[in-house]
Structure 1
Amino acid sequence: MTGTTGPVAARKRSRPPEGRAASPNAAASGPSKKLIDRIKLLPVLMFVAVLLLSVKINDLWKDVRGFRATVTVATVAEAGPSKSGGTAAPSGSGPTTAGQLAQAADDKNVDAKKPEKPLDPVLFTRSEIELLQELSKRRKELDAREDAVIQKEGLLAAAEDRLEKKIVELQDVRGEIEALIEKYDEQEEKQLNELVQIYAKMKPKDSARIFNELDMDVLLQVFSRMKAGKTAPILANMRPARAKEITVRIAERKTMPKIN
C-alpha cells in the first residue's frame, strides 16, 4: 500500500481541484483589464487637468486685471483729482484687488502730502549763488518800485480829489462873480441911461463944457448911447481938439472886434 500510494498521491496533489482550475482566458485577461481601467481613467484625468487649467487661467486673469487697476489708480493719483472730485473703482475686482487699490491711493496721498526737502545751499555753485543773489536784489528793487508806484497812485488820487473839489468851488465862485457882474452891468447901464437923458435935456453949450472935462471912457459910453441929433450940437460947441479925439475914439471903438 505504501509503495503504490506514493506516486498516486503525488499525482493527486499535483492535479488541480475541480472548480479552481485556471483557464488560459482568465490568465490573459489580467493585463487587458488593467489597460482598460487606465483607458477609463484617462477622460477623468483630462477633465481634472482642464479644470485645473481653467482655475489657473482665471487666477492669472484676475492678477492681470488687478495690475491694470493699480496702474490706473497710480496714474490718476499722479495727475490729480478729477473734476467730479473722486475716482471710480474698477468694476469686477475682487476683495484683494480693492485692498491693493486703496493701499496704492493712500501711498500716493501720503507721498503728495510730504513736504519737499529744502535745497542745500552748500550744493550750489558760485555762479548759481551769484545769480540767486542778483535775482533777490532785483526782486527787492521791483518790490520797492511797486511800493513807490502804489504810494504815488495814492497821492495822485488824493490830489485829484482835492483838485475836483477846488474846481467845484471855483465854478461856484465863478457863478457868483458872473451874477455880480451882471447885476453891476445892469446898474451901470441904468445909470448911464439916466446920464444920457440928463445931458440930452441940457443945452448943447452946457453939455459941451462938461464933456470937455469929462473922462474919455465915461464920455464914450455916454456918447455911444445918445442919438445923433443930440450929439451933433454938443460936438460943435466942444473944443476942436477934444471933439477930434472923441470922434477918432468912437470910430476905433466901432471897428474893433468884440472880445468875450
Structure 2
Amino acid sequence: MSKEKTAKKGAPKRKKRSLKAGRGALFLLSVVLFMSAVVRVFSGTGAAIAKEVAELTKEDTHVEAPVDPIACMADEDLNALIAALRTREKSVEEKELEIAEKLAIVDVARAEIEESFKALEIAETRLAATMATSNTAAEDDLARLTSVYESMKPKDAAALFEAMAPDFAAGFLGRMRADAAGEIMAGLPPEFAYTISVILAGRNANAPSE
C-alpha cells in the first residue's frame, strides 16, 4: 500500500521534470533558430550593402577615370592607325627630300648665274676699255687726217673733199682751222659747198650755248 502511494506521488514529479526539460530544449532550439535567422539576415544585408557599395565605387571610378581612346581601340584599328601614320611619315620624308633636292638645284643655278654675271661684268669692262682705246685711236686718226688735209694745197684738198660724202666732208672741215677750211670751201663747187655749210650750221645750232 505504501509503495503504491509512493509510486503515485513520484509520478507527477517525474512528469513535471519531463515537461520542464522539454520546454528547456524547445527554448534552446528556438534561441538557436532565432540567432541563426538573425545571422542570416545580417549576413545577407551586409553582403547586399557590400555589393551596392562595390557597384557605386565601380560607377564612380568609371565616371571619374579618364578614357584612353587607344586602349579602347581594337587591335585591327590600332594597326591600321599605325600603318597610316607610318605612311604619312614616309610621305613627309619624301617631300622633304624632294624639296631639299630642288633647293640644291636652285643653289647651283644661283651660283652659275652669279658666275655668269661676274663674267659679263669682266667682259663689259674689257669692252669699255677696248671702246675707249678705239675712240682714242679714232680720235687720233681723225686728228692726223685733219692735220694732213690742212697741210695740203687748198686746190688739191678741195678736189679730195668733193669726192667725199657731204656729212663726212663737213666733219673734217668742222675740225680744221677756219682759214684752211675757208680756202678748201672756196675751191668746192657752189652747190656742194652750200650743202656742207647747211650741215655745219645745223650742228652748231644743236650745240648747247654757253
Q: TM-score normalized by structure 1? A: 0.42
Higher RCO (C-alpha under 8 Å, 6+ residues apart): 2
Q: TM-score normalized by structure 2? A: 0.50
